[in-house]
Amino acid sequence: MNNRTRTIALGLFVVIGMACAALLVHRIDTLRPPEDPNAIDESLYVNGKMARRISLGFNGLAADWYWMRSLQYVGRKIINAENLPIDRLEQLNLKLLAPLLDTATTLDPEFIDPYEYAAIVLPAIDVNEAIRITKKGIDANPNAWRLYHQLGYIYWQQHDYRSASEMYGRGAQIEGAPAWMEAMKAKMAADGGSRATAREIYTRMYEQSTDDKVKDMAHKRLLQLDSLDQRESLRKLFAAYQARTGRCPSSWKEIEPVFRALRIGVDASGAPLDPGGAPYVLRACEVELNPESEVPAK
Amino acid sequence: METTAAITQSKTRTESRQGKLWRIAAIARNAFREAVRDRVLYNLVLFMLLLTGASIFIGELSGGQERKVIVDLGLSAMLLFGVFIAIFVGVGLVYKEIERRTIYAVFSKPVGRGEFLVGKYLGLCLTLLVNVLVMGVGVSLALLYVSRGWDPLIPTIWPAVLLIYMELMLLTATALLFSSFSSPALSALLTFMVFIIGHFSADLKSLAASLGSTSARWLFTGLYYLLPNLANYSFITPASHGRAPSLEFVFATALYAFVYIAVILAVATLVFSRRNFK
């Protein structure tokens, strides 16, 4: 066997060997017992302080890793509930999210995104942890006005409008904070529970956030607010129709001309469309969201 | 007559100093060539692959934080690769010469042991300099790619790169010191331990402050000042947030590195000059 033949034979052997190894790996994967779904919820072995201590100057990279792990953790759980807004994840049992975000922010206290993510996602899971992590972010980054906005948002969700107003007020005093922070302070104090305040909050969140998921959540909440306004108007229409005819409309067709006059979009059956473009459902003098609608029901 | 003698003496001294520098430069050049021949710079290929992969895929995983992740990943890899080179190449610098018996040929010429050590040290420092410079350019290019144009983080990573280089210079000197009297395996282990302890130096100080016993307090305070404080050279995380160290800070850390390296090389020369190669 000359040198060339030997090289070709060895090359072929390597290729065939690697192909066999890949086939075997594939076979082993099918034989492996299914993974325990609770395994991904196993508690973290090291807390943030310890992780920072042992990171040997690689704390920034370790923080990035914990941050990406938080996103993957939520992403894996959310995969089967795609239409769920990220501020309504309470049913997904995300018990590891708070420790993951806490560790990421302990490793890199100036990393703003995990604090903001905690402020948006955590209140539905553990509101005290959400407040604690956001406050930790404010302590580490006293000039980050966006964190005051996020903490104000958490308090607003808890209907604690006084604290929310205080947070917006404190944030407004920071150099570089937008003028609407001051306006939000007044709005929270005077009319915290109103739909207008909610609209203002989600509009600002949509404008300020760099995270696509947060933007998407804010967008959905804005659609929901528009839909609430629409449904309120529709109920008024039903009431007027009932007063005039003594009965509820049995189909959308009966009141379609009114929609046309009010320039409300309708589909082929005459049903008015919600802000997401799905037709509303008429049920005994009550208007409901279509189950297919992208507008969140809650 | 006396003036002529003084001039001759001064001239001889200047020539001797120039000769010394020339010999150190020659040894450094050879150490650098040896490192290149040993394919040490091949790690740059791995680094580039890592950064290219990160630039393309990290955007998907990091929730819009790809710029921060690229700086953290790039500078951390720079430090890690540099530490491995400083340790594993550093401990072999002297040992290989002894093992191959080429050291006899070197010392048969008018080369001092201190000159030999300093030359070897500077050669590896030159290798590391090329390494960090290319890696720094790589990180900058990755930032240009992910930002689709100029990125304000690019100028802020270079002071962090400089600090990483100083840390690597300190570690190289430490590796050389250990290799001047012990085996490569032990030297690598000891240098790696210095790297770890160097990043725990702040803990040594707080440990000393929290101890009740005076002798223990003295011991840990002594260790804090004796061991290299490498935590001062960790500026990767602030750099990823666009923060650069002050000029005064860079100057102070550079001075500290210079003094510490000079001390370590002096000790290494002292140990090495007493070593018997027979």
CA A71 to chain centre: 11
Share above pLDDT 70 across residues of chain A, in percent, rounded to a whole number:
94
Mean pLDDT value across residues A160-171? 89
Q: In this structure, are A186 and A253 located in the same domain?
A: no
CB contact under 8 A, B236 and A58: yes
Asked whether the predicted pLDDT for residue B182 surpasses 80, the reply is yes
C-beta separation of A248 from A284 below 8 A: yes
Instruction: Tell me the per-residue pLDDT of A205-252, one tens digit each, with 9 for 90 and over.
Output: 888 777 777 788 888 888 888 888 888 888 888 888 888 888 878 788
Residue B13: the pLDDT is: 65
Q: In this structure, are A196 and A226 located in the same domain?
A: no
In a domain, A269, yes or no: yes
Record the tokens describing residue A46, joined without a space: 């090291």
Q: In this structure, are A256 and A273 located in the same domain?
A: yes
Share above pLDDT 90 across residues of chain A, in percent, rounded to a whole number:
19
Region label for A220, one of left (φ > 0), alpha (ψ between -120 and 50) or beta (otherwise) = alpha
Mean pLDDT of chain B: 86
In a domain, A31, yes or no: no
Residue B137: the pLDDT is: 92
Boundaries of domain holding A235: 219-288
Among the partner-chain residues A61, A110, A113, the one whose CB lies closest to the CB of B73 is A61
Q: What are phi and psi of A35, to 5 degrees?
A: -70, 140
Mean pLDDT value across residues B34-55? 80
pLDDT band for position A133 (cuts 50, 70, 90) = very high
In a domain, A16, yes or no: no
Residue of B nearest to A116 (CA): B63
- One DSSP character per residue, chain B reads -HHHHHHHHHHHHHHHHHHHHHHHHHHHHHHHHHHHHTTGGGHHHHHHHHHHHHHHHHHHHTTS-HHHHHHHHHHHHHHHHHHHHHHHHHTHHHHHHHHTTHHHHHHTSS--HHHHHHHHHHHHHHHHHHHHHHHHHHHHHHHHHHHTS--THHHHHHHHHHHHHHHHHHHHHHHHHHHTTS-HHHHHHHHHHHHHHHHSHHHHHHHHHH-S-HHHHHHHHHHHHHS--GGGG--HHHHHTT----HHHHHHHHHHHHHHHHHHHHHHHHHHHT----
Cβ contacts from A onto B, under 8 A: 65
Q: In this structure, are A64 and A190 located in the same domain?
A: yes
Centre a 10 Å sphere on the Cβ of residue A270 and count the other Cβ atoms it contains: 17
CB contact under 8 A, A59 and B195: no
pLDDT band for position B19 (cuts 50, 70, 90) = confident
Q: In this structure, are A157 and A230 located in the same domain?
A: no
Instruction: Work out the minimum CA distance from B243 to partner chain A, whole angstroms.
Output: 11
In a domain, B7, yes or no: no
Residue A36: the pLDDT is: 66
Which ipTM value was assigned to this complex?
Answer: 0.76
In a domain, B167, yes or no: yes
Residue A123 sits in a domain of what CATH number?
A: 1.25.40.10
Residue A33: the pLDDT is: 75
Residue B99: the pLDDT is: 83
Q: In this structure, are A173 and A256 located in the same domain?
A: no
pLDDT band for position B11 (cuts 50, 70, 90) = low
Q: Which range, of A97-106, A271-280, B127-136, averages the lowest pLDDT?
A: A271-280
Q: In this structure, are A81 and A107 located in the same domain?
A: yes
Q: In this structure, are A125 and A204 located in the same domain?
A: yes
Say whether residue A108 is in contact with chain B using an 8 A CB cutoff: yes
Residue A38: the pLDDT is: 64
Cβ neighbours of A212 in B, within 8 Å: 63-64
Q: In this structure, are A188 and A89 located in the same domain?
A: yes
Say whether residue B61 is in contact with chain A using an 8 A CB cutoff: yes
In a domain, A35, yes or no: no
Asked whether the predicted pLDDT for residue B123 surpasses 90, the reply is yes
Instruction: Tell me the per-residue pLDDT of B127-172, one tens digit each, with 9 for 90 and over.
Output: 999 999 999 999 999 899 888 888 899 999 999 999 999 999 999 9
Mean pLDDT value across residues A143-163? 89
Cβ neighbours of B61 in A, within 8 Å: 68, 71-72
Cβ neighbours of B78 in A, within 8 Å: none
Boundaries of domain holding B33: 23-273
In a domain, B5, yes or no: no
Say whether residue A143 is in contact with chain B using an 8 A CB cutoff: no
Instruction: Work out the minimum CA distance from A20 to partner chain B, whole angstroms.
Output: 27
The whole-model pTM stands at 0.76
Residue B187: the pLDDT is: 93
Residue A268: the pLDDT is: 78
CB contact under 8 A, B61 and A71: yes
CB contact under 8 A, B79 and A71: no
Residue B12: the pLDDT is: 65
Q: In this structure, are A168 and A277 located in the same domain?
A: no
Instruction: Tell me the per-residue pLDDT of B200-257, one tens digit each, with 9 for 90 and over.
Output: 887 787 888 787 788 888 888 888 888 888 988 988 999 999 989 999 999 999 999 9
Contacts of B153 (CB under 8 A, 6+ apart): B67, B71, B143, B239, B240, B242
CB contact under 8 A, A68 and B80: no
CB contact under 8 A, B64 and A67: no
Instruction: Tell me the per-residue pLDDT of B49-77, one tens digit each, with 9 for 90 and over.
Output: 787 777 777 766 777 788 888 899 899 99
CB contact under 8 A, B237 and A59: yes
Instruction: Work out the minimum CA distance from B46 to partner chain A, whole angstroms.
Output: 18
Contacts of B238 (CB under 8 A, 6+ apart): A110, B160, B244, B245
In a domain, A295, yes or no: no
Say whether residue B240 is in contact with chain A using an 8 A CB cutoff: yes
Instruction: State the total domains in chain A.
Output: 2
Instruction: State the total domains in chain B.
Output: 1
Instruction: Tell me the per-residue pLDDT of A241-252, one tens digit each, with 9 for 90 and over.
Output: 888 888 878 788
Residue B6: the pLDDT is: 57
Q: In this structure, are A76 and A211 located in the same domain?
A: yes
Say whether residue B236 is in contact with chain A using an 8 A CB cutoff: yes
CB contact under 8 A, A53 and B61: no
Record the tokens describing residue B78, joined without a space: 């720079």
> Reduced to 3 states, what is the DSSP secondary structure of residue A116?
helix
Mean pLDDT value across residues A69-74? 87
Mean pLDDT value across residues A53-69? 88
Residue that terminates a domain, selected from A186, A218, A250: A218
Give the Cα separation of A205 and A187 in Å (integer): 16
Residue A35: the pLDDT is: 67
Mean pLDDT value across residues A13-39? 82
Taking Cα atoms as reference points, which of A285, A287, A258 lies closest to residue A270? A258
* Interface list for A 71-100 with B (CB within 8 A): 71-72
Asked whether the predicted pLDDT for residue B14 surpasses 70, the reply is no
Residue B264: the pLDDT is: 92
CB contact under 8 A, A71 and B195: no
Q: Which range, of A8-22, A151-165, A186-200, B174-188, averages the lowest pLDDT?
A: A186-200
In a domain, A185, yes or no: yes
In a domain, A180, yes or no: yes
Mean pLDDT of chain A: 83
In a domain, A233, yes or no: yes
In a domain, B68, yes or no: yes
Asked whether the predicted pLDDT for residue A17 surpasses 60, the reply is yes
Q: In this structure, are A185 and A237 located in the same domain?
A: no
